[in-house]
Every structure is written in structure tokens, then in C-alpha cells.
Structure 1
């Protein structure tokens, strides 16, 4: 087995190079155990007078986006705080050479070193607070004791990465310099003449400044806007920094560990860590881990109907931090109407099953986002008019983002400059990746794909799907059956039918999260659209059962589902309602069919409803009415006739909605429309407005219990819900949870 801690000795110098086994593992128990053995060796060797810690080729171990895992105790490995304490107490200098992103356990060990030198590319980022936790391993305590409360709180309470120069000013490091010594001899020469020891408690002598920083931090907790840290977490961080002043070093590190353990076990922290792992797992696009239980499924370990993802990687590996795709060809075949994405007619874009466009067609939006991500775009269309319309879509996207200050004018102009209009399919030759909008059905569309295939050769080719097909199309001669793959755009999610590193790299650079899908969706809609439809139908069933519409919306909003189902329907408008259910392959509920107007009476002047179903995920504006529109109550009374009204608690409302969402997800899982349960939860958070600290319906169903959920679904069949999917019975019979189908990347 390859070592993760490589020890090289050269005279009085020992160099410990830390290389994680695979991307995202961070300081795993195995790696911590290896570092412990390496420290034993070099600290016991009296001939060694200087120890250097550095990262491997890909940088220091990085468990992003879930660095809290670095600090979880394991019976077979020392805790990271123990390693930090040993490094901090070493009798010989320990120098940390830093480069790349330093987070989690890597940050803690760096703070334990006696001297820190950062490459100019280094960035420090406290991701733990985004998981409702705090940095542990002793790093926060040691930083506070050396550099003060102000720098420690600036690091831990900040939400943005800190560059090397700013890190130097804060006292996170002692030097910023690129150390080019690749071998031990070169490193020894580069480090000669440097102090190599910083005073570890220098900040403790100025108690007045230290205490003033603590007081200021406590006074400002909860007053900031934007990506504010949970006040409970912020207060615990301030407490840890205070303990660094008041307690001895070991005691303050233990205080930090207890605070971490208290926070990491809260439901919100568990849910956020689960969401973070779900994002990483979806981006890797692999099949579920082979150790997942066999539940009568196919050989791939996925439920029946799911297929292993096609792997187009070949020898092309995508390393962390690899440069994005530099050349993408996008093509709009003739007779595809692109203008409908910019107006409010609704039937155009939504009727085709493409949602979340926000006045953009899918191809234009994809072009803009890819250009923002650094790709060079060749943007073409089958007619000059279509090309002009397509460029107008991109121009509107640029204007919107600049006006919202999502990008600066300079960034917008730079992205626009990377888009080159082309008028012939042959102009896409040589591109790294080719994407065509879905062509019209029939011979004309097939011929278009044939021409693009000849132009592209071996270039990865995808169809941006907008109709009923999600599988690769065949031309008349069948040559493209294996040559094309499909992708669909959501607000933040891109569903993709093949693992291709070129496509994945470009989409990640464009700030999309790719999610692998294997099977056609019923009705041609996205996963998010199917979940939205299930959410609305669950809300309608609650209303007909006797729950007040305003109460349903309020309970679900406060619980973290985003806007309630009826508020979403009002914001979307009638056309988008119909389009959503067509795309999701579901029949509108009886209340929605009978009542086509707004459910709430207007209270304040509001903008006209946008025809995009993405409007359903935006939060309700302040001042929104809670008074029902005239006639809604009467319509409900007619539908409730002959049915006894149920007295439902808030918890019952939430449980019924979770059950119906989970059942829709179980169906998609069984047929292969989703690859993992965690993908569903990720989509609920990114594209359906659900708060990430809820975890998602599959995570919640696991917590409630699958047997309870299935019994709830069986009871709902008496109210018009469909019977629970058969996969519930399989999971319950085998004593399994949804988390067992996620693989090791996601866990429970």
C-alpha cells in the first residue's frame, strides 16, 4: 500500500510530505496514524535538528467541503489535536511549507508548527462554520495564543478565503515566499538563516487588546448580513478564543475539542455535513460505492433500472484545481425557437420541459455561465436570425448579472469577449466539447446531429435536452447511438448522462453542480420539477384534508422548505403550473384543476408572475398576503364535502410532505432517474429552495424511520395519493436506510 506520509532524511533535515490517498479524504484515520508514526521516527532521531511539513503535488490534505471529518475521533488513530500538541511541543523546529487551499486539519497542524511559510498562491478558509461547527484540532486555540483574539476571530468568523498576504498581516503565517527546493538539500539551503521559531504565546501578554477583541465580537454577533454564521456557533467560537487566554494551552485545546463535539452532534450540523458530502459525491458522478448493500438490485449496486454511469474518461484525469475547458462549441439547430425564454408567455420554454431559465433559454444561459467560468465559446446557430436572438439572450444575461452586481462590468466584458459567433457547423471543429440544443424531431434533426458528429470527431458531444428524451438520439443510420449524451440545466444543478471530465470541468468552472442520471424521466422534466410537483400535490392533499392553506404554507416555510406550495403556485402563474405538471409527468390535483386563479388575495402591488417554474423557489416578498382570495374557501368546502376534516399538528404536516417527497424520490431511484438518494437531497437544497440544514427529504426520512414513512404513505392512499413505491418494502425488509445507497462518500 502506498504511503501517505513520505519521510525523506538528508543530514540534519527530515522532510515529511503529506499526500492524501484520494481527493477529498483529508486527514483520515489512516493518514493520522501514518503521521504519528513519522513524528515518532523524526522526533526520536537525535541527528535530525529540523523537520519540514509540506503537502504533496496536489497540495495539503483537503477534506473540502466537509473538513469537520478531520477531527472526528477514531479508535485506530490519534486525534488531530494530539498530533498538533506533539508538533507544538517538539524540541526541534517544525516548519510548515504551505501552498494551495489550507483548511481543516491542515490548518490546525500548520498552526502547531514553529514557523509557517506560505506560497503566494496559498488560501486559508474556515469552512467548518458553514457546517454549523467550528475549527478544531487545536488550530484556533494556538492561533489565538500566538497572534491574538482579533486574528483568530477574523479567521474563524470570516466567510471568505484569506489570501497569503492577508494571512501574513493577520499572523496566520510568518512569511510569504515560494520555496523552490524540490529535494531535501534544496530545502535546507532555502531555510538557512531564518528564525524558524515564533513566540507561541506572544498575544497573551496584551490582555487589554485581547479582551477588547472578544467584547467587540460578542457585540456584533447576529448583526451582519449575507452569509452570516449561526449565532450559536459564533458565540462558541468566541468562547474558545477566550479560553485560549484564560486556560493553559492543553486545557484550552481540550475546551476547543468539547465545543466542537457539542456542535458537530447537533441535527443542523449533521444535515449540513451530509449536504456537503452529497455535493462532493454528485460532482464525482460515480456510481454508489460497491460496498452498498445488495437489495435485489442490479450488479452495479444500484436499484433495479439504474445503470452504471458511462465512463468517457479514458486516460484523461481531472485533478483538483485543474484548468477548466478552454474551448466549447455550442450550436442551436434550425427551427428551435429560442426567443420564448425572454418573454413571459410561459408555454414556450416550460412546455418543452426546460425549467429555471430566468429569461434565458438553456443554450444562451449555458453559454454565458461557461464564458464566466473562463471557457472560450464558439456560439453558432442554424440561421442568422437565430444567432442574433441567441446573442441577445447572452447580452441580457450579462446586463442582468452586472446590474445585480453578481459580476463586475470588467468581468462581464471579459466573459463576453470569450464568446465568438459562428455561422457554420464546421466552425466548431477542434472544440474540446460540443453541445447542441435539442434539434427538432425527424430527419432534419438527425441530419444536424450527424453533421455535428462529423465535425467533432472524437470530441465529447452532448445534447442539451428540452423535450421528452434524455437518452442519446440515433440518426437514421444509427451511427450516433453511442456518440451523443444528454444534459439538462436547472437553476444550479446540471443533470448529465455520462461521466466526461471535459464536460464536468467546464460545468464546475461555470458554478454548476453536475449530477449523474441514467434513465429517462417520465414527462421529460428535471428531477427538481418532479420534486416540485410532488411538493405541491402534498400541499393540496393537506388542504383538502382540512388544513388551512395559509397555515400549510407558514408551517412549511418556517420548517425550512422555502415557500409553501400555494405561495409557489401563485408566484408561478397558471401557465407555469400546467407546464410544471406536464414536465413532471404528473396530473394536476383536483384543487389546482378546479381553481386556476391565485390562492391569496393581493395585498401589495406585485410584479406580474414569471412564467418560469424557477419562480416557485424564490422566497416570498415582504408584505405578501396571508388572506385567501375570494372563492378559495368555497372551492375547498366543495372538495372536502363528505370527508371528515383532520386536525393536523405542525409535525404531521411536515411528516406528510416529507413522505410524499421521499416517495417521488424512491420511484426515481428505482427506475434510475437518480443515482443516489443524496442527489435528491442536494437538488432539493440547490434547485427547490429547501434549507440545507434540513438535510433533505431522504435524510429526514432516514431520521424519522422508513417504516413510519411507508405507513404514512399507505394512509395517504385513502386521500388520493398513489401507493408507496415497492422499493420501500425492499429497504425495510433488509433493514436498510437510504443512506446505505449513497456509498462511502456521503454516508448517513
Structure 2
């Protein structure tokens, strides 16, 4: 720490209790100065005879928010957090942790090393290291199961979820809940009570929740089986189970050593690098050039045009954020269906016990509907979610321009259409912006904020503020056909279609992509989304299609038969009697064979590796074009879009991060090899070529923020 800087750990004697306050804003992260300060405080407590107990508290809104993310990727600095936790536990004077706000990751591990824990109602406890491809590495995998048992410990560590004070008390993670909002007062009162009782040192390493070995082994076995089924190639969850097994099998010190071995294995895994990249990228996308100096407009009420699947999902997202919603539909029947679509979501929550009937009624009381646009006269923001056709959208915006008050933000949820054209058709283009939600809009985290040429900076700021209120992950996108995500999707889907026509079955392609880490393959996704959506887009773009470009017609043949996927009972797969998962369809394979014959293609075999390489090369190449043309600000914006909107496996970090991992020269070499057979489709991105020539990677552009010439 620099001379004269505010100490990160402050010691203050209150009678016979040494109060140790962590003061490292904004979240009291466990940086090296905090770790050193904690050790110094414990040494001070040990040497001062008048000190009978130590109280650990956090300044500000949190106890300890976990690791200092600024140290990620840096050489480790002593003392290491495991040594700090072990020193806390070894104290010969009782150490009490008073927890308020966040006690996450290493912060909870510090609290677990204390001898007693009191929580305030604001406390949020968790061990979320799995979300970064890691495991709790400061004794968390050894102390937690000894304190609360293997099942509860594994649930916390494998889910990464945060729990409140009441659940923490029920589990046994904390000893009591204190009312109020002053952690120091609550902690001092508890410490004095413990001293008056002559309470013994109670080291968590000696806790006995693992005593029933058979029951604990059964819990570990169940978690191992569930992890193997659900983790889909993730590395750290299995290591977490191994660490808890060590807690059951080994003495505490040996268990700590095993935890450290497993932690280092996770640290060295490429998955950890991908997950950490995703963590930082998600935070970076919340920043946009238009936000500098711009203040968001106030949003107190919102209008939604359209009550179909998308409009209803958007309405639910807004209602969940506490906003009143006015829905507009073309007639009373459509409006009733729109309200039913909204109510169905909350009905499901009530049935599952996640919402009371009274809470449902209170939320729906903030919904109102109308068939007249005049009902939107006083709303602050309108989101249009009608049919994907320019003339329809323009008609809606003409009505909005007529009825909406000055300063109201006019947003379109279009997936593909030119928002500059929509804005230019109004007399107030500065108020028009794209808010591209992903279905189901109340669940999907991604929100593409599409910035047209004439939009006002405060409207962009309003969109980002709305994303924050909706708990969405925002990504700024420029205007082009499909913006970031759908533009890239169109290209890698074409790559899949070419492979299908050249000899790979859609079922092999899906299997290969799932094996890479996707939850479902491209043809399963097409069936889920509805084949008619893509068909309408292909027909819309037919007039502008490059006549020299190859066009695979297989999907069109299915759509011509009315086979649109799950909603029609068949698409690329068969869905008998409303089944959610499909089975391969011999008739589809016959259609594919006929299309190959019509196109004069002799089918050839593809390996799964070749399928994945082509699929990802198309994705990466178009991602580079999107960045090069300024549609995405940086490669990381492409990564976040594909992670949150298109199910790219998170542990790989996103397609641009994955490209850096395998090496851009290899990606470019693959594309050039594919271009020998199809030079129109496989045109190397100028940005990719430039980076390879310079010996640079995509991440270098994330750091500089200069992506396009």
C-alpha cells in the first residue's frame, strides 16, 4: 500500500474486544492489503493481553465480497488466503464474524474460519467459484461439509447460488441472526454474550456434520452422478465433488492439501480462462460510448405493442422489475390472449410454490390493456413487438408518433429490420432505438441495444438503464441485417446447411455441436424456434441474395410441407404427440438425399471434428466482420452475445475467445482451405487477416477498444 493511503484493515479496541474492520471499497474484496491487514490484526490480538476476543466486520455495504478481481492473472502475493483462514481458525482467542451484505467466495471462507458467526438480515452468503471454473480454495471445500454436511455443501458449491440469512441459519452456516443494520453493534453484543458464557473456541475444522459416513457418502455419490449428467464437459464441478470426498476421507490438514491440488488443476484449465473472460466481458458490455455524460430519461411506465409470445415475455420482464405495463393489441380477442399469455407465467410460479396468489394478483394489477394507442399517451417508453415486416412496424411507429408524449422513448424489438429506416419514417428519430429481446424475454438475459444513426445519447443511456433494471446483460449493436447475433447465426447456420447437403446428416451435426458443449444443435434449435421464422427471413432476402452464392434449399422443402418443428409435430425431427425432444425422421433424410441429387452433389463423410471446425470457423469469421465494420464495439461484445443469446458454451468464453485459444493462424488456415471449394462463402475477414499478419489476437482489441480501421 502507498504511504499515506487509507488502511484496508482498521483495528480498534472496544474494552476487551478487538474490532477488525475491513475497509476496501466498493465490496471489501480480499486483495493483498486486506489479507496482510487481517494477519497483522490477529498477531496484534495474540500479543495484547487485554484482548479476549476478535470481531471481524466489513465497512460499507458488505462483509467481504470475495477475491479482488484485479489480481486475476497476476502473480500471487503473500499471504495467500488459505494461510489467512488457517490463522483465523488457529487463534487462541475467539474470533467472531458479523456478516452483513455479501460474504461470497473467499469472504465466506474467512467467515467459516471464524469460531462464531452472526448474520444480519441483509447477509448474502455463497461459494460461487464454480461460475469461474474454480473451486473454493481457502478451505471452503473442507470446512463447509464439516459444518453443514456434504449434501448442503455440494449444493452451495455446485450451484454457485447465494443464500440469505434465514437459509444460512437453517443450514448451520451461521449461529444466529441479529436484527438491525449495524454489523459492529450486532457483533459486539454477540461477542460479549459469548465471553460472559465462557464459550469455548469452536473450530470449524473440528465440526462433526460428516460423522455419519454412510449418509455422507450417499450424498457425495448422488452429487457425482448428477454432475456427470448435467455438467456437460465442465471441469470444476467434478473437482468440487472430489474435494468434498477428500473432506470425508482425509484428516483436515490432508484435505486442505488435496483441495489445493484440485484448485491448481482448475486454475490451469482452459475452462477457467474462458469463464473468467466471460465474467469480465459481461461487465464490459455495460459500457457504451454514448453513455459518457448522458443521463437516462426517467422510466416510470412502459407500453408494449403486441401480446404474442415475445410481447408477453417483454411485459413479464417489465412487470418483474416493478414497472406498470400497458399492452396494446389490435382487438379485444387478441388482447385477452395477450393477458392470458402474461398471466400463464405467474400461474406457473404459483403452482410451483414460488409465488403466492396475492403476489400474483399484485403484479397483474400493474398490467392494463387497450385496443387504442391513445392509452400510451403518458408512458415513458414503448416497446413494439409486432410482426417482423417493415410496413407493419412503420405503421405502428406512425401511431406512436401521434400519441406518445414528447421525450417518450420509442423502441422496436425487431430481430433483423433496418432501424434507421424505421426511425427515418418518424418526425422524432432521436427518440427511436432498438431493444432486441430474446425469447422467452422474461428469462433470457441478453438484450441487444441497437443504436441507429440519429438516436440521442440519453435514449441510449435509458436503454442501458432499463437493461440494468430488468437484470439483463446489455450489448451495444450497430444497425445491419440481424445486428450482431442473428447476423452471425445466419452465417454459421449456412455453414451447417452446406455440410448437410454435402453429406453430413442433421443428426450428426447436432450431436457434434452438442459434444462441443452446446445444449442443443442447430437443427434442434431450428425446430424449437420454428422453421417458419427462418423461412420468412430467407424469402425476404431472396431478392438481394448473391446469385453466385450457393443456396441450400433443404429447410425450404420442409417448410413447404408445413413442417415447422415442435409446434407442428415435425421439422428436422419427429415430435410424436407433442414430445419436447425429437427423433430422427427417415422422410427428412429422403428429402436431403433428393436435394443432393438435384444439386448434383455426391455425398461424402464428415468427421465430428471437421463439423465443429467448419461451424466455428464460419461463426468466428463473421464475428470478425461484425467487429471490423463497427457493428460490435469489440470482440468481447460478440462473445457475450453468443453466450447469452445463442447458447455458446460459457466455459469456452465465446467464439472470439475460443479463436484466441486455438490460435488465429489455425482459424485463418482452415478458412482458406475451405475457400478452395467455395470462395464466395469462405471469404476471410479482413480483420482476421490483419490480426494474423500482426501476430495479434482478438483480445488485444478488447484491451484497446480499437477494432476497426
TM-score over 0.5 for the pair: yes
The answer on 1:258 being equivalent to 2:203 is no
Partner residue in 2 for 1:530: 487
2-structure distance, mates of 1:197, 1:584: 76
- CA distance, structure 2, for counterparts of residue 330 and residue 80 of structure 1: 50
CA distance in 2, matches of 1:229, 1:646: 29
Change (3 A) 1:402 1:273: farther
Q: How many residues align?
A: 669
- The match for 2:21 is 17
- Contact conserved, 1:531 with 1:664, CA < 8 A, in 2? yes
In structure 2, the partner of 1:597 is 557
Aligned counterpart in structure 2 of residue 634 of structure 1, from 594, 610, 615: 594
* Aligned 8 A contact 2:518 2:648 in 1: yes
Match of 2:433 in 1: 485
Displacement of 1:723 after TM fit? 1.4
Paired position in structure 2 for 1:661: 619
2:562 and 2:568 in contact (8 A); partners too: no
Aligned to 1:370: 318
1:402 corresponds to which of 347, 351, 372: 347
Q: Displacement, 1:46?
A: 5.3
Preserved CA contact (<8 Å) 1:147 1:203 = no
Aligned to 2:62: 59
Change (3 A) 1:239 1:51: same
The CA distance in 2 between the partners of 1:453 and 1:576, in whole Å, is: 34
Unaligned runs of 5+ in 1: 288-307, 317-324, 333-337, 342-359
Q: Quick one: distance in 2 between partners of 1:110 and 1:186?
A: 15
Equivalent residue for 1:454? Answer: 406
Shift in Å, 1:110: 0.6
Between the aligned partners of 1:684 and 1:444, the Cα distance in structure 2 is 30
Q: Partners in 1 of 2:566 and 2:304 — Cα distance?
A: 37
Decide whether the 8 Å contact of 1:100 with 1:121 is kept in 2: yes
Alignment CA distance shift 1:443-1:83 (3 Å): same
Query: Residues 268-667 of structure 1: matches in 2 within 5 Å?
Result: 268-282=271-285, 285-287=286-288, 308-311=289-292, 314=295, 327-330=300-303, 332=305, 338=306, 341=308, 360-362=309-311, 364-371=312-319, 373-379=320-326, 381=328, 385=330, 389-390=334-335, 392-399=337-344, 402-403=347-348, 408=355, 410=357, 412-421=360-369, 435=383, 445=397, 448-449=400-401, 452-454=404-406, 456=408, 462-465=411-414, 468-470=417-419, 480-491=428-439, 492=444, 493-496=446-449, 497=451, 503-504=463-464, 506-517=466-477, 519-521=478-480, 523=481, 525-569=482-526, 575-581=532-538, 587=545, 590-593=550-553, 596-598=556-558, 607-608=567-568, 621-625=581-585, 628-641=588-601, 648-667=606-625
Q: CA deviation at 1:117?
A: 0.5
Structure 1 position 309, deviation (Å): 3.5
In 1, are the aligned partners of 2:125 and 2:162 still within 8 Å (CA)? yes
Asked if the contact 2:239/2:262 (under 8 Å) is kept, the reply is yes
1:100 corresponds to: 101
1:398-441 Cα shifts (integer Å, max 9, x gaps): 32563586765735433312213478878667766554669967
| Separation in 1, partners of 2:590, 2:232 | 42
2:330 and 2:371 in contact (8 A); partners too: no
Residues of 1 paired with 2:555 and 2:152: CA distance?
58
Measure the CA separation in 1 of the matches of 2:73 and 2:58. 21
Identify which range, 711-720 or 102-111, moves more after superposition.
711-720
CA contact (8 A) 1:470 1:487 kept: no
Which residue pairs with 2:192 in the alignment? 192
1:328/1:377 contact within 8 Å kept: yes
| CA root-mean-square deviation | 4.5
Distance change >3 Å, CA 536–CA 655, structure 1 → 2: same
Displacement of 1:700 after TM fit?
1.9
The residue number in structure 2 matching 1:673 is: 631
CA contact (8 A) 1:146 1:200 kept: no
1:115 matched to 2:67: no
Deviation at 1:727, TM superposition (A): 0.8
Q: Deviations over 1:700-728 (max 9, x none)?
A: 21121111111222222331314111111
Q: Within 1, Cα distance between the matches of 2:560 and 2:133? A: 36
State how far apart, in whole Å, the 1-side matches of 2:180 and 2:587 are: 67
Distance 1:741 1:43 in 2: 51
1:485-541 Cα shifts (integer Å, max 9, x gaps)? 332212322112468676545434545322222x212x2x24332232112111123
- In the alignment, the residues of structure 1 paired with residue 293 and residue 383 of structure 2 have an alpha-carbon distance, to the nearest angstrom, of 16
**In 2: Cα distance, 1:544 partner to 1:679 partner:** 32
Give the deviation of 1:47 after TM superposition: 5.3
CA contact (8 A) 1:330 1:378 kept: yes
| Contact 2:55–2:96 (Cα < 8 Å) also in 1 | yes
> Distance between the aligned counterparts of 2:656 and 2:579, measured in 1?
23
Distance 1:625 1:21, change over 3 A: farther
Q: Distance in 1 between matches of 2:362 and 2:613?
A: 48
Taking a change above 3 Å as real, the CA distance of residues 246 and 69 of structure 1, as seen in their structure-2 partners, is farther
Contact 1:490 1:528 in 2 (8 A): no
SS at match of 1:17: strand
What CA deviation, in whole Å up to 9, does each residue of 1:152-204 have, x standing for no partner? Answer: 4454356654332332232211111135547x688645642235755215856
- Alpha carbons of 1:475 and 1:667: their partners in 2 closer, same or farther (altered >3 Å)? closer
Q: Deviations over 1:630-668 (max 9, x none)?
A: 242132144355x8x765432222111111001111111
Give the equivalent residue in structure 1 for 2:30: 27
Alpha-carbon displacement from aligned partner over 1:244-300 (angstroms, at most 9, x marks no partner)? 465554443222121122134334444334334433433xx115xxxxxxxxxxxxx
Query: 1:560 deviation in Å?
Result: 2.7
Moved more, 253-262 or 108-117: 253-262
**Shift of residue 135 of structure 1?**
1.8
Q: Give the deviation of 1:81 after TM superposition.
A: 1.0
Worse overlay, 732-741 or 232-241: 232-241
Structure (1 or 2) with the greater helix fraction: 2
Q: Per the alignment, do residues 86 and 225 of structure 1 end up closer, same or farther by CA in structure 2, a change over 3 Å counting?
A: closer
> CA, structure 1 residues 311+413, in 2 after alignment: closer, same or farther (shift >3 Å)?
farther
Deviation at 1:54, TM superposition (A): 2.2
- Structure 2 regions of 5+ residues with no counterpart? 452-456
Instruction: Tell me whether 686-695 or 103-112 shows the greater mean CA deviation.
Output: 686-695
Decide which moves more: 488-497 or 196-205.
Answer: 196-205
- Residues 74, 583 of structure 1: CA spacing in aligned structure 2 closer, same or farther, 3 A cutoff? farther
